[in-house]
Amino acid sequence: MSNHPNYSFFQSVEKSFDKAAHFTKWDKGLLEQIKACNSVYSMHFPVKMDDGRIEVIEAYRVQHSQHKSPCKGGIRFSEAVNQDEVMALASLMTYKCAIVNVPFGGGKGGIKINPRQYSVYELEKITRRYTSELVKKNFIGPGIDVPAPDYGTGEREMAWIVDTYSSLKPGEIDAAGCVTGKPVSQGGVRGRKEATGLGVFYGVREVCNMPDVMGKLGLSLGVAGKRIVVQGLGNVGYHSAKFFRENGSKVIAIAEYEGAILNENGLNEEEVFQHRKATGSILNFPGATNITDSSKALELPCDVLIPAALENVINKDNAPNIQAKLIGEAANGPLTPEADEILINKGVVVIPDMYLNAGGVTVSYFEWLKNLSHVRYGRMEKRFTENMNAHIISQIEHLTEKKIADTERAFIMHGAEEVDLVHSGLEETMITATHEIMDIWRKNPEIPDMRTAAYVCAINKVATTYTELGIFP
Ligand code: NAD
């Protein structure tokens, strides 16, 4: 959940936590410990700019919980960065990792700059200096704290971080695991780019496969034929739309900031993306109707609404007009707490951001494991599987005296590549997490919504770890 006029972002996370903690039986002191940020590192360091000026940079790294090591969470480059925001985001990472069974504590970092106002060389100096400050205080490392990309950062910054870390830690064999979201050539993993959108799809699909939930919403089972509205055609929105379309859903509308387009027969996200690239706008897409007020797309009649752009887009003003039965929070904090209440009363099921958009961190975990094992996924077994499958096919053909069609043969033969294993691990993760949350919700009908059930799930897991560690016997 995002910013609220009456309390800070961190306080609003605490409020959601308290609401859920009410449905658990854990000791009050233990709950206090889970909520608190364990370590907050606030720093200032000087960087010489291209014009010779020295600028003092304000930056943070917060380790919310060390109940599992390492801590994990992105680094954000934004002018809006402040300690409260980094603390809130770090605590959300603890809960997110717990829900999807990624064995990390939560962390988050931020540098208070607008990256567009700096040259690439200046950004490199800032990123490298930030990394060496983290090294000095033992705030980074494959077993300590592992950053990742967030707003304003990407593969390029992660490559600078791993290079700086490795040069300061000569001989550290697992140095590549000090950060994730790296380019594949620098120890990154295939399948990271689409991970969040694919995770969104897997999570929503699993809910759509639950007869009790679909029955209550008056929807048919499965994602096939579902009418979907997607807000935001960025990384997450594009890939969510792609996987829904490929699995038989109809993406009837896509909204971008300049407007939205509607076609009841379904839109192809790649064609829309190319149209926007060529014309500079999503509007006037062949065969679609323009909606000039983009936010009105959120109010279209549809089965599933996927806000994948910004926070607070569904609020007390437009929540009463929402017609979707199911909302998949692909973005972080797309609903305000007031909207949440309104939608609960309308009977809408909201699949919460904290777990639905956990595909990125899940695949980051796979990247970290790859770095620690020093081997690409699939390298050891791909050829073995293909040889074995070829043998099985030839035996079937021999015994039945029938030939298997070429396309089927290729499909069955195929041994898993890295990307296949990453997708499969993500699918397993999202399915398991969906069931764990839903089981908590089903067992306690007083829990008002899936978001609270997700928090209860997270609290139970973190509290269990603390208890088993013996800190709170
Ligand atoms: P992105 O920048 O690639 O895409 C966001 C898109 O939303 C852009 O195309 C932008 O033009 C569009 N947009 C902006 N304002 C809009 C408006 N008013 N109406 C409609 N569209 C608008 O970002 P992203 O990586 O796709 O992230 C989207 C959301 O998902 C963010 O909230 C982010 O925090 C969250 N998220 C992303 C990841 C990830 O792995 N990328 C992981 C977890 C959560």
pLDDT in tens, 126-163: 999 999 999 999 999 999 999 999 989 999 999 999 99
> Could you say which DSSP state residue 428 is in?
H
Q: What is the C-alpha to C-alpha distance for residues 311 and 353, in angstroms, rounded to an integer?
A: 11
The answer to whether 447 touches 338, Cβ cutoff 8 Å, is: no
Sheet holding 71-77, edge to edge: 39-48, 54-63, 105-111, 71-77, 145-149
Residue 240 has pLDDT above 80, yes or no: yes
Residue 1 has pLDDT above 80, yes or no: no
The answer to whether 427 touches 202, Cβ cutoff 8 Å, is: yes
pLDDT of residue 469: 81
Mutating to test ligand 1, I would choose from 116, 196, 291, 364 the residue with most ligand atoms within 8 A of its C-beta, which is 196
pLDDT of residue 4: 57
Closest Cα to atom 9 of ligand 1: 234
Residue 470: band (very low, low, confident or very high) from pLDDT cuts 50, 70, 90: confident
Closest Cα to atom 4 of ligand 1: 234
Closest Cα to atom 34 of ligand 1: 332
Phi, psi angle pair for 48, to nearest 5°: -85, 125
Least confident residue range of 6-20, 275-289, 298-312, 336-350:
6-20
Q: What is the dihedral of CA 176, 180, 186, 192, to 10 degrees?
A: 140
Give buried/exposed letters for 31-54 (b at 16+ CB in 10 A, else e).
bebbbebbbebebeeebeeeeeee
pLDDT of residue 272: 98
| Over residues 183-210, mean pLDDT | 97
**Regarding beta strands 259-262 and 289-291, do their DSSP bridges make them parallel or antiparallel, or are they unpaired?**
antiparallel
pLDDT of residue 135: 98
Three-state DSSP at 422 gives: helix
- Among 169, 153, 188, 123, CA closest to 369: 188
| Over residues 243-264, mean pLDDT | 98
CA 226 to centroid of ligand 1, rounded, Å? 23
The answer to whether 91 touches 37, Cβ cutoff 8 Å, is: yes
CA 57 to centroid of ligand 1, rounded, Å? 26
Residue 213 has pLDDT above 50, yes or no: yes
Three-state DSSP at 4 gives: coil
Cis peptide before 211 (omega within 30 of 0): no
In the chain, % of residues over pLDDT 90:
94
Residue 2: band (very low, low, confident or very high) from pLDDT cuts 50, 70, 90: very low
383-429 pLDDT, tens per residue? Answer: 999 999 999 999 999 999 999 999 999 999 999 999 999 999 999 99
162: left (phi over 0), alpha (psi -120 to 50) or beta: alpha
CA 196 to centroid of ligand 1, rounded, Å? 11
User: Which residues form the catalytic set?
Assistant: 108
Phi, psi angle pair for 373, to nearest 5°: -90, -10
Residue 6: band (very low, low, confident or very high) from pLDDT cuts 50, 70, 90: confident
Q: What is the C-alpha to C-alpha distance for residues 456 and 434, in angstroms, rounded to an integer?
A: 13
CA 143 to centroid of ligand 1, rounded, Å? 30
Q: What is the dihedral of CA 431, 437, 438, 440, to 10 degrees?
A: 140
Pocket residues: Cβ below 6 A from ligand 1: 196, 231-237, 255-257, 294, 308-310, 330-332, 357, 360
Closest Cα to atom 20 of ligand 1: 256
CA 381 to centroid of ligand 1, rounded, Å? 37
pLDDT of residue 71: 98
